[in-house]
Amino acid sequence: MNNIYGVILGAGEGTRMKSCLPKVLHKVAGKELISHVIDCLNHVKLQKLFVVIGSGSDLVLKHLKRFDENLNITTALQEKRLGSGHALLQIKKYAEGLKGHLIVMCGDTPLVRQETIKQLLQYHIKNKNFATILSGIVNEPFGYGRIVRDSNGNVSCIIEEKSASQEQKQIKEINSGIYCFDLETLWQALSKVKNDNNKKEYYLTDVISILNKSGYKTDALSITNEEEILGINDRKQLAYASKILRNRKLDKLMSDGITIIDPTTTYIDNDVIIGQDTVIKPNTSIEGKVKIGKNCQIGPNTCICNSLIGDDTIILYSYVDGSNIKNNVKIGPFSHIRPDSILKDNVKVGNFSEVKKSVIDKGSKVNHLSYIGDAIIGKDVNIGAGTITCNYDGNNKHQTIIQDEVFVGSNVNLVAPVKIGKKVLIAAGSTITENVLPNKLTIARARQIIKVRKKK
């Protein structure tokens, strides 16, 4: 399908969110509301995407810059909020003259499936409609605009709740706020929309009756899953939408061969990728851009954020953030892997140890009560219990380099910047302040002295 355009109406203030953050930037299942909508539209292969912005426009613009330039996003500012019809008019100067079809979505509808938008577009084109509404059948239609059909079942108009008669209020088919329009006739109809209502606003819904009166065919595609068309207006709805999206994600993962021991205590964001036969144990959160390999064991009581995890890796009772964990790594219990860390194959980190902005090469171990910060650790290195890389001098961070096959005894302080050569043995309790050449035994501690204890 060619000449398909999209617009996201994202200028709303979101007053019920009671937040300084624009409503469309609030996160649901780890991703901003507007990002969910953009991802949904992106699968339709748009020629161009328009975004109408308003409240917190600077923050929204900054967020939109993160997206691939191939999306071809154009923004339009709605300085005064004068209704949905007025919002759509803000893109007219950018879209006038374009021919084709325009999909209209709201920036606070994260639950709409990609398949539903594709179905709406196909239905619109197949039936040669000039406007097609995505409608839903709901049990509690209060507050929504109703789809009014004539005796032949054709859509005649959308009537808002405040203007509906008692008979019309019984209608269960409601307007989702998602449409597909023929671009050329859309601008003609929008120019005829009036603001003769209590709010003095220009309603996009009025376009339907205007098109019908002008002899242009309109229609509605109705879906029965009312969850899809839920808009987010407050924090309760935000939490509810997150739950729905995460349940969808868990169902998909389990269908793909991943074991989720307890879905009720497992929280996995929408963009997470997990390999086959991995087991996710209870009380585990996996957030942001995370990719986990095959045959891993994650949890219990574990949080992983924005990280890459290889195959056959075990992470339990631990926190991993912004790091690259390779294959057959064991982390935990009670480890903290901080951003910009790389743990290569067969590394072990556990028992209240912390790693920050460091590279630990193959086969090395940091098993007990240690802090490794701003360090490069070679292959097959043993870091003894209580080892500290003293990387901060009060003003700057400095690097510690430990080469292959070094054995670091317990309770050692490595005062950076310092370099330890290959196959060095560092005696327990040492404080190392100078570089050590390869194959040396290093002892840096005071000689033990025993004296007679004076009695009081």
The alpha-helical segments, DSSP class H, found in 301-390 are: none
Check residue 226 and give its pLDDT. Answer: 87
Lowest-pLDDT range, 153-162, 371-380, 435-444?
153-162
Check residue 224 and give its pLDDT. Answer: 85
Residue 9 amino acid letter: L
Distance between CA atoms of 310 and 319, rounded to whole angstroms?
16
* pTM for the predicted model, two decimal places: 0.90
- Catalytic pick among 43, 86, 368, 398: 368
Q: What percent of the chain has pLDDT over 90?
A: 86
Q: For residue range 61-112, what is the model confidence (pLDDT) as tens digits? A: 999 998 877 788 999 999 988 999 999 999 999 998 899 999 999 999 999 9
- Structure-token match 């068309």, residue found: 229
Q: Tell me the HSE value of 149 on the side-chain side, using a 13 A CA sphere.
A: 16
Contact of 45 with 141, CB cutoff 8 Å: no
Set out the domains of the chain in order of their start, with CATH numbers: 4-229 (3.90.550.10), 256-339 (2.160.10.10), 352-456 (2.160.10.10)
Say yes or no to pLDDT of 373 above 60: yes
Lowest-pLDDT range, 327-331, 373-377, 443-447?
443-447
Distance between CA atoms of 409 and 429, rounded to whole angstroms?
7
Contact of 255 with 235, CB cutoff 8 Å: no
Structure tokens at 28: 């649901």
Check residue 70 and give its pLDDT. Answer: 73
Q: What is the largest CA-CA distance in the chain?
A: 109
Which residues are CB-contacts of 177 (< 8 A; sequence separation ≥ 6)? 84, 104, 105, 106, 109, 229, 231
Check residue 69 and give its pLDDT. Answer: 72
Q: For residue range 174-216, what is the model confidence (pLDDT) as tens digits? A: 999 999 999 999 999 999 999 988 788 899 999 999 999 999 9
Structure tokens at 229: 């068309």
Q: Per DSSP, what are the bridge partners of residue 218?
A: 131
Question: How do 375-377 and 400-402 pair as beta strands?
Answer: parallel
Check residue 61 and give its pLDDT. Answer: 94
**What mean pLDDT do residues 412-422 have?**
98
Say yes or no to pLDDT of 406 above 70: yes
Beta strands in 307-390 (DSSP E): 308-309, 314-315, 319-321, 324-325, 330-331, 336-337, 342-343, 348-349, 354-356, 359-360, 365-366, 371-373, 375-377, 382-383, 388-390
110 preceded by a cis bond (ω within 30 of 0): no
* Average pLDDT of every residue of the chain: 94
Note if 368 is an active site residue: yes
Check residue 49 and give its pLDDT. Answer: 96
Distance between CA atoms of 453 and 456, rounded to whole angstroms?
9
Check residue 1 and give its pLDDT. Answer: 55
